[in-house]
Structure formats: structure tokens, C-alpha cells
Amino acid sequence: MEVLKTHAVHGGTLRYLKHDSAATGTPMTLSVFVPAGEGPFPVLIWLSGLTCTEDNFTTKAGAYRAAAEHGVIIVAPDTSPRGEGVADDPAYDLGQGAGFYIDATEVPWAPHFRMETYVAEDLIALVDAEFPTTGRRGISGHSMGGHGALTLALRHPDLFASVSAFAPICSPTRCAWGEKAFTAYLGDDRATWDAHDAARLIEGGAARGRFDDVLIDQGDADSFLLEQLKPELLQAAADAAGQTVTIRMQPGYDHSYFFMASFIADHVAFHAERLKA
């Protein structure tokens, strides 16, 4: 683990880090905020959206005041492997910056684009080895990262004790962003897709009884709401499966970090309550 930068913030310590990932076969970058004190602290993993690096959340979300108050470590990884030897696409919604938190099976993506295994194995192992964690962790994210948070929590309920999201892609098998990415990364056989679709996973009973609630904030002025995000599909799946979800439609809010900054303290508190239980 290489420490790239260190900043004091809200009484704690924020580090930008680089480490080698076995999952992606590349160096990966991330930020880690550790509150003041000895700990140990529970961990909240934050997954960012399309085009982001670890820097967007770290500089714009304003999450560390609440993290300091509640005594929570926050970990924000990059959204994909990067670099010259890594496949890419000129579009903003495929390739570098658009890993979708799944393990690609198709060329040219398969060798490096393994973001599910990266988060579930390498990232968690690094954080638990290097920082004073309790071993309990939650997961949240925005847009593509909201999809990542929901699906990783539903697929790995032993790893995560709490889950929330901002403006998540709720059903990637039924929107353009998801269909494009899953076709590229997983291939044309849609039978393989449902295991990475939050609404389908909930509908199928994944993690039934493992999460008492799932907190989701969604701006009603979000320009991606109708075509890409579709929280109504998640609500319908939850209703059908008997899973409690709390979807808060926030009037006037858009898809930006100003929206997340407005409600991030609620999410940190939601996770802290469950991670300290």
C-alpha cells in the first residue's frame, strides 16, 4: 500500500492510497477516512458513479463531518481499473470509469474489469489489514455505484451489515446504461445478467431477512430518473418479496453531488446505527 496524499479533515485523517489488486491485475487507487481516536471503527464503503474516480466523493460529498461524529471509517475506491494496458472505450459509460462493479467475462474486458471481486476481496482485505476496523461494514453508492452497493450487498450479505444508495440504477437489465454495459462485460446471454440486477435479486429473495431496511434517496429533478434509474422497479420487487425499502423522493434535487451532500449525513447515521448494533 502506497500513501499518495494525507489530509487532516474534521479531526480525522484522510489518505489517498494506491495498492496492487490481484482481482484486476492492476494498481488501484482509493481514499480512506479514519476518525480521530484509537477505534476500532466500522467501515462504510462508497461506490461512485460513471466517470468518477475516488476523488469526486472524497472532495464533494461532505461526508466526513458525519463520519467523524459517528465514528465510521469511509472507504471510496476508484470505479474501474485504469492505465495503458487496460481496455477502454471512448464512451463515458463503458470501460475505464465505468466498471459497473461486476466481473467481466467477455473480451477485451475480462482480464482487468473484475470490480466485484476487487471490492469483495482485495479492497476489504486491504482496509481490514491496514486500519483499525471492527470487521463490520456497510456499503453505499451513487448511480452506477448505487447499483454496485445494492447488488454487492445482496450477493454478499455476509460481508455487509447495512446498505443504502443515492439515485441507484435499480434494474440494469432494463435500462440503456445497464444493457450496454452488461452486453459488453457479460455477453449477449441475458440469463447471466439477472444476478447483477438489484430489483431482480430482491424479487428472487436474495438476502431475504438479512437487511431490516434499505435506504434510498432519489431526486425528483434527476434527469436520469425515468430512463435509467427506475426506482419503481425496486419498490415493486421489494413489495413482492416482502423486503423493506425506504425510497425517499427528494423534491427538486438532481443527479449531482449537491444532492448527495444534502443527505449524506442521514446515510452515515443509517449505517452507523446498524454497524454498531
Name the minimum Å distance from CB 6 to its own copies.
Answer: 9
Site for its own copies in 239-268 (CB under 8 A): 250-254, 256-259, 261-262, 265
User: Quick one: 101 or 257, whose CB is closer to its own copies?
Assistant: 257
The sheet that has 215-219: what strands, in order across it? 2-9, 12-21, 26-34, 73-77, 41-47, 133-141, 162-166, 215-219, 246-250
Which of 41, 46, 57, 64: binder of its own copies (CB under 8 A)? 64
Please state, in angstroms and as integers, the Cα–Cα distance from residue 227 to each residue in 137, 150, 175, following that order: 31, 19, 6
d(CA 253, CA 264): 13
For its own copies, the closer of residues 11 and 242 by Cβ is 11
Residues carrying an active site annotation: 143, 222, 255
For residue 8, state whether it binds its own copies (rule: CB under 8 A). Answer: yes
Which is nearer to its own copies, 32 or 154 (by Cβ)?
32
Contacts with its own copies by CB under 8 A: the residue count is: 25
C-beta closer to its own copies: residue 224 or 257: 257
Asked if 65 is part of the footprint of its own copies (rule: CB under 8 A), the reply reads yes
Task: Determine the Cα–Cα distance for residues 23 and 113; give it in Å rounded to an integer.
Answer: 8
Q: How far is the CB of 34 from its own copies (least distance, A)?
A: 13
- Letters for 217-236 (x = contact with its own copies by CB under 8 A, - = none) are --x-x---------------
Q: Does residue 11 belong to the site contacting its own copies (CB under 8 A)?
A: yes
Q: Which of 1, 3, 59, 240 binds its own copies (CB under 8 A)?
A: 59
Site string for its own copies, 120-159 (x = CB under 8 A): ----------------------------------------
Q: 3-class secondary structure for the chain?
A: CEEEEEEEECCEEEEEEEEEECCCCEEEEEEEEECCCCCCEEEEEEECCCCCCHHHHHHHCCCHHHHHHHCCEEEEECCCCCCCCCCCCCCCCCECCECCCCECCCCCCCCCCEHHHHHHHHHHHHHHHHCCEEEEEEEEEECHHHHHHHHHHHHCCCCCCEEEEECCCCCHHHCHHHHHHHHHHHCCCHHHCHHHCHHHHHHCCCCCCCCCCCEEEEECCCCCHHHHHCHHHHHHHHHHHCCCCEEEEECCCCCCHHHHHHHHHHHHHHHHHHHCC
Nearer to its own copies, 173 or 262 (CB): 262
Task: Give the residue among 67, 65, 85 at the shortest CA–CA distance from 75.
Answer: 67
Question: For its own copies, which stretch binds (CB under 8 A), given 2-10, 166-174, 195-203, 207-215?
Answer: 2-10
Tell me if 10 contacts its own copies by CB under 8 A. yes
Give min distance, CB of 65 to its own copies, in A.
7
State the minimum distance, in angstroms, from the CB of residue 265 to its own copies: 8
Question: Quick one: 65 or 276, whose CB is closer to its own copies?
Answer: 65
- Determine if 9 is a binding residue for its own copies (CB under 8 A): yes
- Residues contributing to the site for its own copies (CB under 8 A): 7-11, 14, 59-60, 62, 64-65, 219, 221, 250-254, 256-259, 261-262, 265
